[in-house]
Structure 1
Amino acid sequence: MRSVVVAGGGITGWAAAAALKRRLPMLEVTVLPIAPPADALADRFPATLPSILAFHGDLGLSEADAIVRTRAGFRLGSRFVGWGEGLPDYVHSYGTHGPAIEGTAFHQHWLRARDAAPFDRHAPAAMLGREGRFVPAGEAPIDGYEYGLVLDLPAQTAMLRAFALHLGVREAAGAFRTLTLEDSGFARAIDTNAGPLAADLFVDATGPAAQLRSAMGGARDDWRRWLSCDRFVIAAEAAAAPPGSLDTVEAQPTGWRFRIEGLNETTTGACWSSAHDAREGIAFEAGSFAEPWLRNVVAIGDAATVVEPLEWTNLHLALSGIDRLVTMMPGRDCAPVEIAEFNRQAAAEAVRVRDFLMLHYVTARRPEPFWREMAAAELPDTLAHTLTQFAERGRLPFYEEETFARDSWLAVLFGQGVRPRRLDPLVEAIDPAPIAAGMARHRDAIAAAAARAPTHAAFLQALHRQALR
C-alpha cells in the first residue's frame, strides 16, 4: 500500500488522514476536503466518549494541543431525566460503581441491600458531575473512572487539519464528481472538477451518503425497526457560567432532548421519531453496512454506520474505525481474508452500540405511544441474550468489540428501574451486615472527596495556565 485518498473534510476525514500519516509515514495521504453535510452526526455533536483521549494520545498530541488550544471541556457522563416515569434521574458515567467484594461483583451486593442509595451514588464520576466538579481519577475513592470531552468542533477540525498537514498530508483542490471503477470492481480514482485523484486505497468519510462506498454497491442493513428516531435539530446558545461536567438527556413524548455545556457555547437540541412527530428536522436513517470495507474502498464513521446521537457514539465509531484501519492495513491487493476480518470486527462493534442504544428504549417506562411501541419492539438476538441473562441473576454476558463496559450497562438498567429475578448465589454466602456498612462508608467517602474537588471551571483554568506557560 503506497497511497491513500481520504474523501471528507470534517473531523472524521482529517482524523483519518492524520492517523494514517502518523502511524504509517511511508504512505502518501491526500485529503479531498468535502464539507460535512448537515446529517453528518459525527461532525455535528460536541460530546465525546473517553476513547477520544486515547486517539489523541496515539497521534502524539499533547494535552495543550488537543484540549487547551481547542478550548475543549471535560465531560464525566450523561444525566438521564424522565426515562422512567416516577423514577428519579440517574447518571451514566464511565467507570466502576463500587469495588468487588470478596471476589463477587459490587452490583450484586447493591441489589441485595434493597434500601441502598441509588446505584450512581457509588460512582465517583457521577458524584463529581452532579456537583459540577472535575478532577482526573487518582487515589481512592476518586478513582476507577474515565471521562470524555466537549469539543469546540471548528477548533478541533482546524487542529486536526493543521496537524495532518504538518505531518505531510496533502490537501487536494476540486469538488467531488464521481468514483471511477476498474473492470475488476476496484476503485481507480475520484474524479473532481480539478482532475482525478488516483490511489491504492480510498477512505470514505463523506457522512451518511457514503459517496464512495455507495458507488461500490450494496445497501446498509436497515435498523429503523429497532431505532426509530430519525429526525434531529441542534442549536447553539451562550455558554453556561460555569459549564457543568455532565450533559443532560431528557425523555420527551416522541423522543428526547439534550443539553451539552461547552466552554464557548452550550449545544441544545432534540431527536425524535417522525412517525410520531411531524415537525421538521434533519433526517437520518439508522443502519450499517455489513461490509464497510469492499475491495479498496473503506467507509469510516457515518459512512459506515448511522445511529442516533444518544450516548454520543457517532464520533467514537469513526475513531474506532480509523484505529482498526491503521492496525489492519492490508497490502495493495486488499486480500479478502484481511478485509473480512476488518468487517467482522466493525460489524460486531456497531451491533453492540445499536444494542446499547436500544436498551434505553426497551427498558424505559413512559406511557406515550412512541415509548410503548419501542418497549414492545422485537429484540435483536444479541440484545435479547443480554437481557435474558441479566433478568435471571443480574449477570451480563461478554461480547467482543464492546464499546460500553459492564457498569455502563448496569447504570442504565438500574437507573431505569430494571432488576433481576434472583441474585448470584455466591453473594448469598457473604454476611450482608458489614457489606452494607462498607457501602455506606464508600458513598460517604466519595461525597466528601467530590465536595473537596475543584469545580470544572477552576480545573480548566488551572490546566490552561499550566499548559500555556
Structure 2
Amino acid sequence: MRADDPTATAAKPIRRVVIAGGGTAGWMVAAALSKTLGKLLDIKLVESDEISTVGVGEATIPTLVTFHRLLDINEQEFMAATQATFKLGISFENWRDVDRDYIHSFGVTGKDHWTAGFQHFWLEGHERGLASDYGDYCLELRAARADRFAHLPRGGMNYAFHMDAGLYARFLRRFSEGFGVQRVEGKIVSVQTDDSGTQIRSLRLESGVELEGDLFIDCTGFRALLIGQTLGVEYEDWSQWLHCDRAVAVQTASVGPAVPYTRSIARDAGWQWRIPLQHRVGNGLVYSSRHLNDETATRTLLGNLEGEVLTPPRVIRFQPGQRRQTWRGNCVAIGLASGFLEPIESTSIHLIQRGIVRLMQMFPAAGINQVDVDEYNQQTRAEIEHIRDFIILHYHVTDRQDTAFWRGCREMDVPASLRHRIDLFRESARVFRIPNELFAENSWIQVMLGQGIVPRQHHPVAELMGDAELSSFLGGIRSGIEKTVRQLPSHQAYVEQYCRRPGTVAATT
C-alpha cells in the first residue's frame, strides 16, 4: 500500500461482497465467486425487476466454453436453458466493399512451420496458382459455410455460442443461489462512502434497507453508479476511432434452420447483426449518430429483417471507451460499468469473464493492497486496448468509399499500435501475438486478408518448395478438411439432438 495514495485502505479482510446489478455481468460474477469462494464469503447481489438490462452478449467467443468448464457447468443444460446454438465464427458481409464477404472463424488455418506461419506458404501457392481461398484451409470456417457442426475428439472443433442473454442471467442466478448467493430485490437510491469519499461503505435501497460490504462489484451497466457517479473515475472516450455510438435491436421469429455463425452485414453508416437462437433470431443495427438518426436507423433495420418482428425496436445509446481505472478503493467495475467497445467481435462477455478471472487471481482475501489494484488496472487496460485495435481494423482497412461514414473510417488516424500491425503485415505478411492478447495470429490474418490487405512479400522458406511439394502440402490440408466436413451433421440437426429444450418446435427448411 502506498502511503501517498488517497484510495488505499488498511488491510481489512474481505468477507462481505456486494454485487450492484444483475444481468449477465452481475450473475457471472456471482456464479464464479460463489462456486470458488462461496464458503468463505457472504455474497449478496442487489437488482431491481423494474430496471431492464441491456442484454449484451447474445453472441459469444470460445472463451465462454472455458469459463463454463471452470465452473463445472453442464453444456447441454446450459444450452437448453438459454435456447443456445453453436457459433463457429462471424460472417462479414459488405465490409471490404459492397458484395465482398469473408468469415472470421475461430479455428486454426493450415499448418505453420517453425520459421513462418501458414499464410506465407499460402501466399506462395496463391502466386503460383496452386492455392484456393485462404478459408479453405480452416475446418471451422468450412464447417460454418456448410452449416455443419459436431463436437470432435480432442477438442478438434473450436466453437462458441449464440444464446438468449436474459435466459442466461436466469440460469446463472439459479446456479449462484445454489452456492449461497443471496439476491436482494430493490433499487439503489444512494451509495454511502467513508469520510474520505474513496471507499464505499454501503448501498441504500429504496426500501430503506442498507447493504454494507467490504468489497463492492459495480455491475450497474452504463450508469456506472459506483465506479463513476460515486467514486468519480473518469471515462476515456474512444469515439475518434470507433464512430458507432448507437444500436437499435429487435427480435424476430426464426424462418429456417439456425446457421452456426453470426452475420455482420455492413450498412451505409454502420452494420447489422443477425444471431440465430433455437427459438428466435436476435437482430440489431449498430450505427453512428453523426451519420444516421434513430428514426432512420430503425427504419433501416426493420426494412432488412427476415421473419415476424416479436419485440418493439429498442434504441441503445453508448459511448465507446474505457474507465481510466476499473478498480478503485474497494470497488471493482465489471461489464458495461467498466467500459464498452461495440459488439462487432462479440467481446462483451469475454471482457466480463476476464475481469472476473483477474479478480479471482488477485482476490484480496486478507485486505486490499494498492499494488494489486495497480496491477489489475494495468492488465485490464492492456487487454482492452488490444481488442480496441482489432475492432478499429475492421473499419479502417476497407475499400468502401460510397458513404461519408466509410470514407471517414478509411481516412482517420489510428493508434500507433494498430498502424504498426497493419504495416508489418502489408510489408512482410508477419503477425506476432502479444502475450495474453485475446485475438491470436490467425484472427488478425483472416481479418486483414478479408479486408483487402495484400502483403507485398512473404517468408523465403515457402519459395524453397517445388510446385509438386507445395501443391501436395496445400492439397492435403484442404482435402482432409473437406473429408471431415462431409462427415459432420447439419448444425440444426445436431442442436436438436444435443440440447433442444423440451417443448420447443424444431425448425424446418
**Both structures adopt the same fold (TM-score exceeding 0.5):** yes
Residue in 1 that maps onto 2:105? 93
Residue in 1 that maps onto 2:45? 31
Distance 1:467 1:424, change over 3 A: farther
Residue in 2 that maps onto 1:317? 351
2:217 corresponds, among 203, 218, 222, to 203
Residue in 1 that maps onto 2:123? 111
Offset at 1:37? 6.3
Cα separation, 2, equivalents of 1:87 and 1:11: 35
The TM-score normalised by the length of structure 2 is: 0.87
Instruction: Tell me if the contact between 1:81 and 1:249 (Cα under 8 Å) persists in the aligned partners.
Output: yes
Q: Which moved more, 1:351-360 or 1:70-79?
A: 70-79
Would you say 1:450 and 2:463 are equivalent positions? no
Instruction: Tell me if the contact between 1:73 and 1:460 (Cα under 8 Å) persists in the aligned partners.
Output: yes
Would you say 1:120 and 2:132 are equivalent positions? no
Residue in 2 that maps onto 1:412? 447
Q: How does 1:67-82 map to 2 (within 5 A)?
A: 67-82=79-94
Question: Structure 1: which amino acid aligns with 2:41?
Answer: L
Residue in 2 that maps onto 1:278? 293
Would you say 1:58 and 2:58 are equivalent positions? no
Q: In structure 1, list runs of 5 or more residues that go unmatched.
A: none
3-state SS of 2:395 partner? helix
Residue in 1 that maps onto 2:260? 245
1:376 corresponds, among 411, 421, 427, to 411
Cα separation, 1, equivalents of 2:387 and 2:467: 36
Would you say 1:49 and 2:61 are equivalent positions? yes
Offset at 1:153? 2.2
Residue in 2 that maps onto 1:393? 428
Instruction: Tell me if the contact between 1:205 and 1:299 (Cα under 8 Å) persists in the aligned partners.
Output: yes
Residue in 1 that maps onto 2:375? 341
Question: Structure 1: which amino acid aligns with 2:44?
Answer: T
Deviations 1:235-291 (A, max 9, x none): 111124311111211111111111111101011121111111123432111010121
Distance 1:448 1:199, change over 3 A: same
Cα separation, 2, equivalents of 1:73 and 1:212: 35
Offset at 1:65? 2.5
Alignment RMSD: 2.1
Distance 1:37 1:171, change over 3 A: closer
Residue in 2 that maps onto 1:355? 389
Residue in 1 that maps onto 2:96? 84
3-state SS of 2:233 partner? coil
Offset at 1:413? 0.7
Instruction: Tell me if the contact between 1:39 and 1:283 (Cα under 8 Å) persists in the aligned partners.
Output: no
The TM-score normalised by the length of structure 1 is: 0.94
Would you say 1:148 and 2:160 are equivalent positions? yes
Cα separation, 1, equivalents of 2:221 and 2:149: 33
Distance 1:39 1:411, change over 3 A: farther
Identity of aligned residues (%): 32
Would you say 1:308 and 2:338 are equivalent positions? no
2:461 corresponds, among 394, 416, 426, to 426
Question: Structure 2: which amino acid aligns with 1:161?
Answer: R
Residue in 1 that maps onto 2:193? 181
Q: Which moved more, 1:31-40 or 1:165-174?
A: 31-40
Cα separation, 1, equivalents of 2:438 and 2:430: 18
Instruction: Tell me if the contact between 2:83 and 2:501 (Cα under 8 Å) persists in the aligned partners.
Output: no
2:249 corresponds, among 218, 234, 252, to 234
Aligned length: 463
Q: How does 1:208-227 map to 2 (within 5 A)?
A: 208-214=222-228, 215-227=230-242
Cα separation, 2, equivalents of 1:50 and 1:231: 26
3-state SS of 2:106 partner? strand
3-state SS of 1:256 partner? strand
3-state SS of 1:212 partner? helix
Instruction: Tell me if the contact between 1:152 and 1:264 (Cα under 8 Å) persists in the aligned partners.
Output: no
Offset at 1:11? 1.5
Q: In structure 2, list runs of 5 or more residues that go unmatched.
A: 1-13, 296-314, 504-509
1:135 corresponds, among 132, 144, 150, to 150
Question: Structure 1: which amino acid aligns with 2:110?
Answer: G
2:273 corresponds, among 258, 281, 292, to 258
